[in-house]
Each structure stands twice: as C-alpha cells, then as structure tokens.
Amino acid sequence: MQGTAGANFSSQLNLNKVEAIFRKGTNAEVDSYSGFYDNGHLKSTGLAGYFRDKKIDEVFVTGLCGDICVFFTAMDSLQEGFKTYIIEDATQPLNEDDFKRTNETFIQNGGRLIKSREMIIINKQ
C-alpha cells in the first residue's frame, strides 16, 4: 500500500544504477494491471516514452499473474508499436486456463511467446 513500509524498496536492493522508476496504481479508484497505463488508459506511466527515448523497439515481459498484469503490459506494448515477447518460463499465471486464452489473444495481435533460452538466439539476430 502506497505510503507504507511495504511499498518501500528493500534495503538490500542496490539502487545506484537505477535510471528511472515508473509508478502505477496511484489512483485507488482505477486498477492498474499494465506497466504502461491504468486500466482505463487515462493515465500513462511514461514507460512507452522512456523506451522511445532510449531507442528501444523490443519489449520482453515476464512476471507474476501472466494472465493479468503480464498480459495487459504485453498488449499495451504491442499497441504502442513495440515488438513484444512474453517469456513463458519466466511467467506465472494466476489461472492456467486464462493464461492459455490470453496468450492466444496476444499472439493474434502480433505478440510472440518464447522460452528464456530463446533470448540468446533473438539477441544474435
């Protein structure tokens, strides 16, 4: 919860090389599943602009709730024009059936599912 000790970064985390922090979920009235926008697409986190400024054109998404937060982040990444991958073996869904369904939607919209071992191959292309 924002403003509590649980929202702080761990004291064991070295923040010396952190260049930017993107905040989401700042409005208690609107869920924020994506790393790019709140669920209403009313407020941007600034992530797309940051990526563009850094000349990033590929986004690799992993994390918890592959069928929710990972999915919405990946879909917004596609919508923003980035070549987008979900790394399946670095992602944990909340519901396996929903994950299969959202992955199909992601692929139909131009996304690609990969395994972490494939990242070496992608980086060499």
Beta strands (DSSP E) in 14-81 are 58-64
- The tens-digit pLDDT sequence of the chain (125 residues) is 777 888 888 889 999 999 999 988 888 888 899 999 999 999 999 999 999 999 999 999 999 999 999 999 999 999 999 999 999 999 999 999 999 999 999 999 999 999 998 887 665 55
Most distant CA atoms of the chain, gap in Å: 44
Domain ranges of the chain: 7-124
Fold (CATH) for 7-124: Rossmann fold (3.40.50)
Hey, CA dihedral for 47, 50, 52, 57, is it positive or negative? negative
